[in-house]
Amino acid sequence: MSSTMNTVGATTYERIKHDIIFGNLAPGAKLKLESLLERYAASVSTLRETLNRLASEGFVDAAEQRGFFVRPVSESDLTEIANLRILLECSALETSIAAGDADWEGNLVAAHHKLHKVEQQMLAGDETQKELWKRYDWEFHLALIQACNSHNLLSLHATIFDKYLRYQILLLTYRGQIAMDEHRTMFNAALARDTVKASAALETHIRAGLNHALAAMADRKTPL
How many residues are given for the chain?
224
In angstroms, the Cα distances linking 189 to 32, 51, 183, 206 are: 48, 41, 10, 16
Q: What is the DSSP letter of 148?
A: G
pLDDT score of 7: 66
169-221 pLDDT, tens digit each:
888 767 889 999 999 999 999 999 999 999 999 999 999 999 999 998 888 75
**b (16+ CB within 10 A) / e for 28-40:** eeebeeeebeebb
Q: What is the DSSP letter of 30?
A: B
154-172 pLDDT, tens digit each:
999 999 999 999 998 888 7
